[in-house]
């Protein structure tokens, strides 16, 4: 059943990602697995959030977005980035080695959305460079 959840939200070799209906079904199936509070839930939730962020259409997922515990209350890139960062930090807390923990934390902080002020400052630098 875990494999079915992974397949629903996975990116296919041709580069296509899941549809919003598949994300919704993956979220529902994950809830039915009763993995709450376990490392298995954390790993699977992280994987699904990675796919939701990587495959998010430019205009968002639309009205069928599966808002809730797994993907958050709103369909925004920044919200998905914050959730994914939190998932990666949770996995870092469960890491088996300091190296693995460091790698997960590096990845977590790399996906965080840039602070709005920093983003505007960077845009200004690009225009003057």
List the domain boundaries for the chain.
2-128
pTM (two decimals): 0.80
Per-residue H/E/C for the chain: CHHHHHHHHCCCCCCCCCCHHHHHHHHHHHHHCCCCCCHHHHHHHHHHHHHHHHCCCCCCCCCCCCCECCCECCCCHHHHHHHHHHHHHHHHHCCCCHHHHHHHHHHHHHHCCCCHHHHHHHHHHHHHC
pLDDT tens, residue order, the chain (129 aa): 778 887 777 776 776 778 888 888 988 988 888 776 668 889 999 999 998 998 899 999 988 899 988 999 999 999 999 999 999 999 999 999 999 999 999 999 999 987 766 666 666 665 554
pLDDT of residue 1: 78
């Amino acid at each position: 059943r875990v494999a079915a959840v992974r397949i629903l939200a996975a990116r296919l070799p041709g580069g296509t990602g899941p549809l919003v209906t598949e994300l919704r079904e993956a979220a529902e199936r994950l809830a039915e697995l009763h993995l709450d509070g376990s490392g298995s839930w954390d790993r699977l939730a992280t994987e699904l959030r990675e796919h939701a962020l990587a495959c998010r259409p430019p205009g968002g997922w639309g009205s069928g977005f599966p808002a809730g515990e797994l993907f958050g209350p709103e369909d925004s890139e920044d919200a998905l980035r914050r959730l994914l960062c939190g998932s990666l930090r949770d996995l870092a807390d469960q890491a088996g080695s300091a190296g693995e923990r460091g790698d997960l934390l590096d990845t977590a902080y790399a996906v965080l959305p840039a602070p709005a002020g920093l983003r505007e400052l960077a845009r200004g630098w690009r225009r003057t460079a």
